[in-house]
Amino acid sequence: MPGLFEELEDKGFQVEFRSHAKAILSIDFPDVAAELVAALSATTIPVEEIIAGGGGESKGTQRLRRALAALGWRKMTFIVEKRINGVPSEAQSHEVDHVREFGDSQRIALEIEWNNKDPFYDRDLENYKRLHADGAISVGLIVTRGRSLHENMRGLVHRFLDERGIDDLEGLREWGYDPTSRQRKAITDRMSRVRNPVSFRDAFTDKFVSDKFGEATTHWRKLEDRLQRGVGNPCPLVLIGLPDSIVTFDEGKAALVEVEAAEAAQQPAI
């Protein structure tokens, strides 16, 4: 179907189909694309959430999870049993964060890999391969950091520092981020070295991004590496890369309210 996910592509999202997934979605699951376009088009991540969250899953991606849940994409554990003469001999379980069911036996699976270690792609793709082979799912989707978001993360972080006029570690605290002692030393060392010293903004940006969004995390190129090796094949796949345009800069301190509330909710009661 021409135009499937075209609205997302027009907004800078990367979209790739594997093993006839486009035909399967357009013919058998025409509502899935519209649901995903609606949920993903509304996704924004304030840059303050990236900084305050220290690279962990942003509240923006958590809001995307809730939007998908509201549309019927539920967490599901698949249990596949092997039986001999009707007696279970072994079983494997596969948990998927978001599954959309159609009738009794048709399902679409979706995982969001915002910023995990890249071996999580192996887990997701192998799960999809097994579940598709067993007839449990028709298509597997992965939503991850797209090429522009990964490659421009340094630019986004540096822009945050520039626009907020942050030139020292104390200035970061009011935005919800306090580097570890190891990170502080690395930043200070780069600023004070005799040869080629750098500014605080450059030193912090390089350290923060390399620590939190490095090459060994889940981003588009690492996903492509797996696909080129045939991981997950022949399960039909839809791959969606989040663009750098989803990061916003106009929230200010208001963006920290949700972050602080989430952190408070995780603190143990005294």
pLDDT at 270: 44
Examine residue 270 and state whether it is found in any structural domain, yes or no: no
Count H helices, E strands: the chain?
Answer: 13, 8
Inside any domain, residue 51: yes
Residue 121 in domain? yes
Closest of 62, 90, 48 to residue 174, by C-alpha: 48
Domain count, the chain: 1
Largest alpha-carbon pair distance within the chain?
Answer: 75
- Give the pLDDT band (50/70/90) at residue 46: very high
Assess whether pLDDT exceeds 60 at residue 266.
no
On whether the CB atoms of residues 240 and 8 are closer than 8 A, the answer is yes
CATH at 257: 3.40.91.20
Q: What is the pLDDT of residue 262?
A: 56
- Give the integer Cα–Cα distance in Å for 260 and 240: 29
Mean pLDDT on 90-116: 91
Chain Cα centroid distance, residue 129: 20
Q: What is the pLDDT of residue 144?
A: 97
pLDDT of 145-194, one tens digit each? 999 999 999 999 999 999 999 999 999 999 999 999 999 999 999 999 99
| pLDDT-based confidence at residue 72 (cuts at 50, 70, 90) | very high
Structure token pair of residue 194: 């005799």
For 195, counting Cβ atoms within 10 Å of its Cβ (0-12 exposed, 13-18 middle, 19+ buried), the class is exposed
Model-wide pTM > 0.85: yes
Helix/strand/coil for 135: coil
1 band by pLDDT with thresholds 50, 70 and 90: very low
Residue 249 has pLDDT above 70, yes or no: yes
Average pLDDT of the segment spanning 107-115: 96
53 domain-assigned:
yes
Q: Which two three-digit tokens encode residue 41? A: 């088009």
Specify if 52 maps to a domain. Answer: yes
Rounded Cα distance between 65 and 62, Å, is 5
Give the mean model confidence (pLDDT) for residues 55-69: 87
Instruction: Identify the residue with better confidence: 82 or 119.
Output: 119
Statement: residue 77 has pLDDT above 60: yes
The reply to whether 179 falls in a domain is yes
Mean pLDDT computed over 59-85: 91
269 within domain boundaries: no
- On whether residue 231 sits in a domain, the answer given is yes
Domain that holds residue 106: 6-264
